[in-house]
């Protein structure tokens, strides 16, 4: 039995117009006009309301939309019917389907997927099944492709305040290709390799957007005796194995909690909450004092036989964190539970008073929540309902990825009850002649591209392979049109970039255009290649190339100016040079580069230093 079963879904933005209108598909800073909506759950074509949709509705959120001019229109505002699906986007999805050996539908129909988290103004996302039953090979293993869909991207979340969420419509409607693999991965590192392979194939079409946020991965993970859990929207490819490992550990912990509770004979807890505000009127807890001073309440629920599972002494069992995440989904800051008390201003005496009020025995636990009454009680009831799920083990759910490689509860895992036909978009017939033409004109595959880059640009095979895997191949080829820049570009993307990331530089803000401008300035002699990392760092902070060069005090020196600086270095160390002779060149190189760095190429500086030392010794 495999210790891990994992499938992934790749969502890749296409570099076309929007899917159902002619607006440009790009992100802007302009807010544009504003309007507000509330969204309500609707039944699917089966007459069901999906559990994820219902959970979202219970949060009672309001939504404000910003509609920037030029990148949104009445279609995005759901005030005008969608236009015919973008032909270029459909063609791209068919090309990728062929590359993945999929069976394409002879007639493509769009469906409505109910989504009421505000990310779609209409309350649904349009998606079409394009192809099924494909596969790709990764490290000699065949990975199944369950489906390939063409769908519209969601609106971009700008701000969340209380129960009000603001979205910008620039991203809404950008075409997405969604590729769902079979659950064929059984190793965390293999998950990353499959995602890299799919990303390389998508980029080879030259029809996709590049950069942070243009490709997202959903991970569907389960362990033996666990359940399918979806981590939705991961963007950092390097973190995929970490997300998988952490989720495996979380599920194993929940399975152990289930074992403990069953051994104790625990049964489902009544989903009720008791108002204990009077007990804590004089509490020193800042959270409780703040809630009560604003007219709020403190609610508490008993959890018989749950002691030690909310947070074990060794920290390995953390059911309390699961309960807190469910409570936060209802708008509160969190909960307190008995495994972590007394603490946070709640005293031993107050804990004892609560236990007495709830008639708790040894081995019993409790959870409490302090906030406005209309929030605290529903939030605590959601936490208690989650406690009851611990008796089953691992609940199916969707979780949001966090930057540290962990994840947090988002909503129940959606089911089939959120789909119904889209009647405003006509079906698209896919003819055999069209598919035949596509299959005879497929883009260059990643392995073919690796070999060509190595052959044409003189970089080694390992570098070309890494450029393609990491997604730098297209930018590399644009920069390396100037063949003198090929080696520098490869070293920059594969070595300098990781070093800058370790320093905390936000490379996501480095656009391809700015990077190409930097290399053009380097090629023109505006600065030496040793200064390129510093220039890129300035560009990532928002500077232009000219401003970066000036801020760093760069600008190339002519031969005479550089020789003058080196002669001064030699003169200041004349006795050392006479003693060492030409052997002084090595020790002086560090001093020379410190004075010349970014203004003279390192090799040129070394040659000039050797020449000037020889001249000094002869003179």
What residues have CB less than 8 Å from 183, skipping those under 6 apart? 5, 6, 7, 220, 222
What residues have CB less than 8 Å from 459, skipping those under 6 apart? 453, 467, 486, 487, 490
Give, as one character, the DSSP assignment of residue 526. S
Among the residue ranges 43-52, 235-244, 590-599, 603-612, the one predicted with the least confidence is 590-599
Place of tokens 């404000």: 64
Backbone φ and ψ of 506, nearest 5°: -80, 90
**The pLDDT of residue 304 is above 90:** yes
**What is the band of 618 on the pLDDT scale with cuts at 50, 70, 90?**
confident
Give, as one character, the DSSP assignment of residue 270. P
Q: Which two tokens stand for residue 39?
A: 């969204």
CB contact at 8 A, 526 and 549: yes
**What is the band of 10 on the pLDDT scale with cuts at 50, 70, 90?**
very high
Among the residue ranges 77-91, 460-474, 516-530, 594-608, the one predicted with the least confidence is 594-608
H-assigned helices in 270-318: 286-293
Q: What is the mean pLDDT of residues 261-265?
A: 97
Secondary structure, 3-state, 576-619: HHHHHHHHHHHHHHHHHHHHHCCCCCHHHHHHHHHHHHHHHHHC
Computed from CA positions of residues 16, 21, 22, 26, in that sequence, does the dihedral angle turn out positive or negative? Answer: negative
38-51 pLDDT per residue, tens:
888 776 666 777 77
- Whether this prediction's pTM lies above 0.75 is answered by yes
According to CATH, the superfamily of the domain at 268-390 is GAD-like domain (3.30.1360.30)
CB contact at 8 A, 302 and 360: yes
Q: What is the mean pLDDT of residues 589-610?
A: 65
Place of tokens 């008073």: 353
DSSP assignments along 118-145, one per residue? SSSTTSEEEEEEEEEEEEEEETTEEEEE
pLDDT confidence of residue 185: 98
Q: What is the mean pLDDT of residues 120-146?
A: 96
Backbone φ and ψ of 480, nearest 5°: -80, 5
Dist. CA 532–CA 434, nearest whole Å? 47
Question: Residue 146 CB: number of other CB atoms within 10 A?
Answer: 16
CB contact at 8 A, 63 and 37: yes
380-432 pLDDT per residue, tens:
999 999 999 999 999 999 999 999 999 999 999 887 667 888 999 999 999 99
487-545 pLDDT per residue, tens:
999 999 999 999 998 998 888 888 889 999 999 988 887 777 888 888 898 888 888 88
CB contact at 8 A, 510 and 518: no
pLDDT confidence of residue 40: 80
Q: What is the mean pLDDT of residues 46-73?
A: 84
**The pLDDT of residue 118 is above 70:** yes
Question: Residue 397 CB: number of other CB atoms within 10 A?
Answer: 23
Identify whether 342 is preceded by a cis peptide bond (ω within 30 of 0): yes
Q: What is the mean pLDDT of residues 224-228?
A: 97
Dist. CA 16–CA 24, nearest whole Å? 8
More confident residue, 564 or 55: 55
Burial of 591 (0-12, 13-18, 19+ CB in 10 A): middle
321-334 pLDDT per residue, tens:
999 999 999 989 99
> Which CA distances in Å does 4 have to 189, 401, 595?
12, 19, 55
pLDDT confidence of residue 562: 65
Among the residue ranges 88-97, 229-238, 551-560, the one predicted with the least confidence is 551-560
Q: What angle do CA 69, 15, 157 make, to 5 degrees?
A: 50
- Give the three-class secondary structure for 278: helix
Domain ranges for the chain, please list them.
Answer: 8-210+416-421, 268-390, 446-551, 559-618
**The pLDDT of residue 599 is above 70:** no
360-369 pLDDT per residue, tens:
999 999 999 9
């Amino acid at each position: 039995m495999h210790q891990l079963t994992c499938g992934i879904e790749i969502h890749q933005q296409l570099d076309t117009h929007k899917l159902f209108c002619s607006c440009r598909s790009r992100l802007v800073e302009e807010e544009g006009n504003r309007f507000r909506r509330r969204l309500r759950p609707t039944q699917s074509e089966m007459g069901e309301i999906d559990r994820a949709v219902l959970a979202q509705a219970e949060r009672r959120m309001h939504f404000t939309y910003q509609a920037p001019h030029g990148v949104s229109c009445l279609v995005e505002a759901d005030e005008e019917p969608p236009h015919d699906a973008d032909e270029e986007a459909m063609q791209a999805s068919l090309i990728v389907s062929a590359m993945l050996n999929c069976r394409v539908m002879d007639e493509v129909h769009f469906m409505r997927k109910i989504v009421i988290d505000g990310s779609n103004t209409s309350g649904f996302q349009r998606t079409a099944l394009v192809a099924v039953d494909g596969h790709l090979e990764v490290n000699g293993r065949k990975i199944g492709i369950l489906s390939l869909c063409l769908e519209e991207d969601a609106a971009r979340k700008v701000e969340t305040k209380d129960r009000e969420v603001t979205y910008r419509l620039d991203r809404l409607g950008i075409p997405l290709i969604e590729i769902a693999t079979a659950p064929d991965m059984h190793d965390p590192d293999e998950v990353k390799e499959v995602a890299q392979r799919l990303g390389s194939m998508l980029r080879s079409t030259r029809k996709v957007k590049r950069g942070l946020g243009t490709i997202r991965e959903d991970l569907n993970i389960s362990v033996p005796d666990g359940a399918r859990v979806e981590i939705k929207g991961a963007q950092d490819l390097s973190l995929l194995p970490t997300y998988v490992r952490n989720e495996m550990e979380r599920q194993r912990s929940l399975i152990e909690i289930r074992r403990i509770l069953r051994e104790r004979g625990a049964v489902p807890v009544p989903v009720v909450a008791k108002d204990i505000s009077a007990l804590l009127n004089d509490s020193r807890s800042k959270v409780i004092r703040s809630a009560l001073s604003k007219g709020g309440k403190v609610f508490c629920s008993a959890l018989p036989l749950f002691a030690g599972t909310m947070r074990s002494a060794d920290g390995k069992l953390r059911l309390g964190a699961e309960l807190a995440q469910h409570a936060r989904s209802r708008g509160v800051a969190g909960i307190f539970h008995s495994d972590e008390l007394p603490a946070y201003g709640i005293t031993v005496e107050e804990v004892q008073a609560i236990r007495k009020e709830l008639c708790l025995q040894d081995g019993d636990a409790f959870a409490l929540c302090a906030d406005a009454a209309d929030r605290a009680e529903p939030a605590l009831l959601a936490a208690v309902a989650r406690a009851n799920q611990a008796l089953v083990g691992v609940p199916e759910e969707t979780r949001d990825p966090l930057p540290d490689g962990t994840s947090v509860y988002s909503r129940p895992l959606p089911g089939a009850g959120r789909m119904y036909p889209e009647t405003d978009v006509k079906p698209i017939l896919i003819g055999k002649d069209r598919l035949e033409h596509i299959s005879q004109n497929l883009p260059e595959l990643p392995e073919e591209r690796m070999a060509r880059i190595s052959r044409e640009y003189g970089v080694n095979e390992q570098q070309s392979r890494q450029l393609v895997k990491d997604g730098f191949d297209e930018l590399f080829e644009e920069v390396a049109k100037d063949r003198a820049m090929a080696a520098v570009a490869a070293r920059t993307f594969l070595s300098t970039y990781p070093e800058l990331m370790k320093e905390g530089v936000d490379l996501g803000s480095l656009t391809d255009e700015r990077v190409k401008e930097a290399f053009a300035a380097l090629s023109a002699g505006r600065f030496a290649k040793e200064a390129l990392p510093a220039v890129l760092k300035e560009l990532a902070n928002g500077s232009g190339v000219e401003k970066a060069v000036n801020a760093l005090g760069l600008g190339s020196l002519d031969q005479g100016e550089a020789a003058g600086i080196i002669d001064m270095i030699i003169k200041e160390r004349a006795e050392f040079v006479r003693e060492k002779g030409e052997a002084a060149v090595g020790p002086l190189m560090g001093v020379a580069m410190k004075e010349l760095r970014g203004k003279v190429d390192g090799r040129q500086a070394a040659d000039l230093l050797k020449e000037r030392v020889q001249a000094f010794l002869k003179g």
